[in-house]
Structure 1
Amino acid sequence: MSKLNKDILFLIFEELQDNSKYLFSCLMVNRIWSETVIPILWRNPWRYAINYSKKNSLYTIITVYLSNYIKEFLSKKGIKIKISGQSLAFDYLSFCRSINIKIIDDIISMGSSSEYNRFLLQEEIYSFLIKKCPEIKYLNICDTYEIVYLPEAKVRLESLCELTCDTLIDSRYFYRLAHICQQIQRIIIINKNLKANHGTAKLIEFQKNLKYFKWVDDFVEDYDYFDWEQLEDPYTEIFNILEKHANTLNHFEISFLVDYNYDYTFLLYTLLELQNLKILAIYSSLFLDNADLNKKLEVATYRDLEILEIDYINIYQATYIIKNSLYLRELRIADFYDNDNFNDGSLNFIRTICENCYSIEYLTIPVFPLLETHFIEFEKLLKKCQKLRSLNFKERYYEKGKELEFGDYLSNVLIREASTNLREIGIPYDIKFSLKTLETFFEKWKGRPAVSIYLGDICFYRNNNSYMKLFDKYKIEGVIKNINV
C-alpha cells in the first residue's frame, strides 16, 4: 500500500511540477512526501521563481559535493566554504537533469566577490556537476561557461531536449553542440548580436526533431536612439533553415525589435512553409501589406493551429490564417488594420470564425460597423462558439455619436446568445453603455458565473456616481467578478 501511495503521490506531484509553492510545501508533510517530491524539484531546480543569489542552502548543497582536498584549496584562496561536518539528507544532484549557467554562476558568486575566485569555483563545480548529473535534458548557456568542452559533456548532453542560449556566444561553441546534440526539441534564442551567428544556424540545421522555436531580440538599450544601420541581418540564415523543420515544428514564437526600413519578407515566407504549427506568436508589427504574400496566404492551411497571437495584422491576413483552423482555441490580436474595405473585411472575419473555430475560448475581434448584417453574423458566432470564455473588442471602427447605440446592440446580443462559459469581456473606447443598458444586462446575467469587464473609457463611468453605485451593487450580488473602474 505504501508503494502504491508513493506512486500516486508521484503522479500528483508531476502534475504540479510548474508550481514551486505547492511542491516546496509538500517537503514538510512527512518523509514519504519529501522523498517523492525531491526528485521532481531537483530535475530542473533552476526553473522556479526564487532569488537564487540569496539562497545559502543551495550554495551549501552544491559545494558539499566537492572533495575535502578541493575545499581546503579553495578555502585557502579566501573562498567561503565549509570543509567538513556536512551531510545531505538526499543525493540531490543525482536527480538533476538541468544546467542553467547564469543561475549557477549567481549561486557561485556567494562564495567570493573576487572574479578569479569565482573562476576557480566554476572550474570545480561545473566539472563535478557534469559528472554527477546522469544526463542533461535542459541547458541554459546564456552568460556561458565553457561546459561543452568538459570531457564528459558529449555523453551527458547527447539527450538534450531544451536549449536556451544567446547569440553573443562564439560560433565554435554552437558547432560543438551541433555535433553532440541532435535531438533538441525546444530552442530559445536571445538575440543580442547585430550580425548573423552562423553557429546558431548550424545548430538548428542539425536537429532531427525540432518542435519549439522562440526568438527574442534584445540588442537595444534605448530604442529611440538606436542606429539601425548597425544591423547586419542576424535573421535570414536562421529563418531559411527553419523551413527545413516544417514537418516537426509546432511552436513558433518571435519578438523582433522592428526597423521599418528593414525588409522582413523572409520571415513571412518562412511562415508559409510552417503549416503544422499549433502555436504561432509574433510580438512585432511584421504583417505589412504584400500582394504576393496575401495571395499565398489565401491557399495556406494551418489545420492544427490552436493559438494565434499577433501584435499587428491586416484583417484579411488574419482571416486567411484561421480559415481552416478547426482547433483554434485562442485568437489574440493587439491591433487590426485594413486597406480600404473594412466593412467586407470585418464581416468575412466574423463569418470565418463562426464557420471554422467552434473550439475558440479566447477571441479578439475588431469593433465592426453598426450594421444589421454584422450583428446577425456576430450572433451566429456566439451561438456556434459555446466554449468562448473571453471576448475582447479592439478599437478599429468608430462612428462618432453611435457609441451608446453600439453598446445597446451588443448588450442585447450577449444576453441572448453568449455561452454560459463566458467569463471576461473587454470593451474599448468605441463602445459605451448607458446606465439603463448596463442595469438590464446585469439583471439578465444573474444565474451565470460572475463576469469580469474591462472598460476602455474608464473616465466615462468613473465620473458618474450612478455607474459606480451600480457596479458596487452587482459586485455584492456576485454578478460582477472584476471591473476596472
Structure 2
Amino acid sequence: MTCQLPSDCLNEIFEYLEEDMHTLYSCLLVNRLWCEISVRILWRNVWNFGISFQQDQILNTLISFLSNESKELLRENEISILIPTPKLPLFNYVAFCKVLSINLISEIVSDVLKDELLSTKHLVTEEIIKMFANQITSLRKLLFYDNYIYFSFPHSPGLKNLSELCCSSNLSSKFFYQLSQICHNLHTLSIQLNHYDTPNELIELISLQNNLQALTLSAYDNVSWKDIIPALKNSFNTITKLYLCGNRSDLPFSFIGLLPNLQEFIFSFVGGDYFEDFKQLQHVNFPNLQTLKFPYRYPRPEYIMKFLENNGKNLKKFCISDCNRELSSSIVNFCPNLKSLFKIFCNNEIDILKTIFNSCQYLESITIWCGKHYLSEKEVFETVAKYSSNNFYELKIDNISHSDISSEDLESFFISWKNRIPKRMLSLIIIKDFYNNLDDYEENMKIIKKYENLGIIRFRTRTIEYEICEEEC
C-alpha cells in the first residue's frame, strides 16, 4: 500500500525546486495532487517557465484564457490565432501568476506573430495584459520597461500587494499616479531613467514608500537621477541595497552617504572617469556594509582604498576590475573577513594572491583572470591548493586568452586538493568567453570527469554576462 505525503508537506518540498524548472515540470506528471501543487509554483513566474518551452505554446495557453469579449474583439479584427482545444485547462494558470513582465508578453506576441501587422500585435498584447490585470489577485513583481509598448497598464486590484517594481521613467503619468494611490509598501524599486525630466507622479510614488529596501537607478547619456534624490528622503533609513549603473561620471553620488543601513552597494558603470563625487564617500562609515562591487569602471583607487579603510572590516563580498597593487594591499590590511573576492592580478602578482589567502582566512570563493598579461592557470591552481584556507571551496577562472593548462598540471592540482585535510569538494567554474577554455580540450575533460566521479570536484561553466549581471531586476 502506497503512502501519500500530505499536500502541505509536498508544497514545502516543491518550494525548494522553484529555480529548477525541469524537475518541477516532471512533478506535473506524477499524479493530480503533485500536478496541482507544482503547477501553482511553475506559473507563479511563468516567464522563467517560458525559457524552457516554446513561445507559441505559452501564447496559445494565454489566448485560451481570454474573456469572450476579448476573443470576439480579435475575431472582429480578423486575428485568427485561436487554436481550438478539446477541453478546458485543468487550472486557471493566469490566476497563479505573481510576476508579470509586460515587455516579455510583447516580445512573445511579436515573435509568434512576426508576420502580422504592428497594430495586430499591439491589440493581442493589450488584451492579454487586460486579462492578467483582471485575474491576478495579488501581484508580487511587475516589470514594465516602455521601450516599444504604447499603452497604459489597466487598473488592477492585484497591484495593491505589489512589492517589486522594475520600470522606466517614460511610462504614462497615469500609470505612476495609479500606483501612488495604492502601492506604499514596495520593497524593491528599479528605475531606468530615460527622460530628462522625471515625471512628478513617479517622484510622488517614490516619496510615499514606507519600507523601500532595494533601489536600482540606471541613467545613461544626459539623463540624471538628481530629481529623484529628494523623493528618497523617507527611505534613507530603510534602503539596504543600492545598485547604480550608467555611463557618466558626473552623476551625484554623495546621497549614498545618507544611507546609514546600507548592506550592499553595486557601482556598475561602463563609461566615465574618476567619479569625483565619490570622493565625498571615502570618509563615510557604513557599519552594516557587507557587499561592495565595481564590476566595470570605478572611482580613483585612492578613494576606494580610503573607503576600505573605513568599511572593509565587515565586508563579505568585494568585486573590482582593477589590478592596482596598492589596492590589493588594502584588501589584505582592511578586509580580513571576506568570503568572496573578484580582483585582477597582473602576471607578476602571484605573491599578492598568496598574501590574500593567508590574510583572509574566511575566504570561500575567488574569481581570477588568467592568461596573457595576468596570472597563469597553473600558478593559480598551485596557489589555491597550497595557500587557501579550510573554508575555501569555489574557484572561478576567466581566461582572457587561450588556455595553456596541461592535463598533467590539471590532474596534479586535483590530487593536491584530494589530499587536503579536512576534505572538501571544490567547485570549479569556468567563465566562458570568446577564447578556448580548459574544458575545450578532450584530455582535460577526461581528467575533470574522473575527479567529478570521485567526488573531489564539481565542474560548471558560466557565461561572462551571467557572472557580471546577476544582480539586475
Q: 1:184 aligns with which of 183, 186, 191?
A: 186
Of stretches 362-371 and 37-46 in structure 1, the one that deviates more from structure 2 is 362-371
In the alignment, is the contact (CA less than 8 A) between 1:312 and 1:336 conserved in 2? Answer: no
1:329 corresponds to which of 305, 316, 326: 316
Aligned to 2:469: none
State the distance in 2 between where 1:483 and 1:108 align: 34
Q: Which protein is bigger by CA-based radius of gyration?
A: 1
Aligned length: 440
TM-score norm. by structure 2 comes to: 0.74
Give SS of 1:55's match. Answer: helix
Give the aligned partner of residue 71 of structure 1. Answer: 71
Code of the residue aligned with 1:419 in structure 2: it is N
Question: How much has 1:379 moved relative to structure 2?
Answer: 5.3
Separation (CA, whole Å) in 1 of partners of 2:431 and 2:71: 61
Do 2:133 and 2:154's aligned partners in 1 also have CA atoms closer than 8 Å? no
- Counterparts of 1:385-400 in structure 2, within 5 Å, are 385=362, 387-392=363-368
Matched, 1:364 2:343: yes
Distance in 1, matches of 2:128 and 2:406, equals 66
* Residue 118 to residue 63, structure 1, CA distance change in 2 (3 Å): farther
2:334 aligned partner: 352
Read off the aligned partner of 1:447 and give its amino acid letter.
N
Instruction: Please show how residues 20-35 of structure 1 align to structure 2 within 5 Å.
Output: 20-35=21-36
Could you tell me how far apart the structure 1 residues matched to 2:301 and 2:415 are? 35
Counterpart residue number, 1:274: 259
Report the Cα distance in structure 2 between the residues aligned to 1:3 and 1:433, rounded to whole angstroms. 52
Q: Which of these residues, 131, 136, 161, is aligned with residue 133 of structure 1?
A: 136
Distance 2:87 2:442 in 1: 63
CA distance in 2, matches of 1:118, 1:469: 48
Identity across aligned pairs (percent)? 21
In 2, the alpha carbon distance for the partners of 1:273 and 1:91 equals: 46
Give 1:14 shift: 1.6
Offset at residue 91 of structure 1 (A): 2.1
Distance 2:411 2:66 in 1: 67
CA offset at residue 451 of structure 1?
6.9
1:331: how far off?
Answer: 1.5
CA 1:243 to 1:347, structure 2 compared with 1: closer, same or farther past 3 Å?
Answer: farther
- In the TM superposition, what are the counterparts of 1:8-87 in structure 2 within 5 Å? 8-50=9-51, 54-67=55-68, 71-72=71-72, 74-80=74-80, 81=82, 86-87=87-88
> How far 1:284 sits from its partner (Å)?
0.9
Runs of at least 5 residues in structure 1 that lack an aligned partner in the other structure: 220-230, 463-467
1:33 is displaced (CA, Å) by 0.9
1:415 aligns with 2:386: yes
Q: Residues 394 and 282 (structure 1 numbering): CA distance in 2 closer, same or farther, change over 3 Å?
A: farther
1:172-220 superposed Cα distances (whole Å, 9 cap, x missing partner): 4323322232211112223344554444333222222111222345x6x
State the alpha-carbon separation in 1 of the partners of residues 330 and 318 from structure 2.
16
**1:447 maps to which residue?**
419
- Measure, in 2, the Cα distance between the counterparts of 1:362 and 1:288: 24
| Selected match of 1:142 from 145, 151, 158 | 145
Could you tell me whether the CA contact under 8 Å between 1:284 and 1:311 is conserved in 2? yes
Gap change, CA 1:243 and 1:350, over 3 Å in 2: farther
Q: Provide the alpha-carbon RMSD of the alignment.
A: 4.7
1:440-459 deviations in Å (ceiling 9; x for gaps): 76664442545748799x99
The structural deviation recorded for 1:10 is: 0.9
- Aligned partner of 2:318: which letter? L
Structure 1 residues 352-386: Cα deviation after superposition (integer angstroms, max 9, x where no partner): 122x43xx1334264598698x688535314x22x
What is the identity, as a one-letter code, of the residue corresponding to 2:77?
K
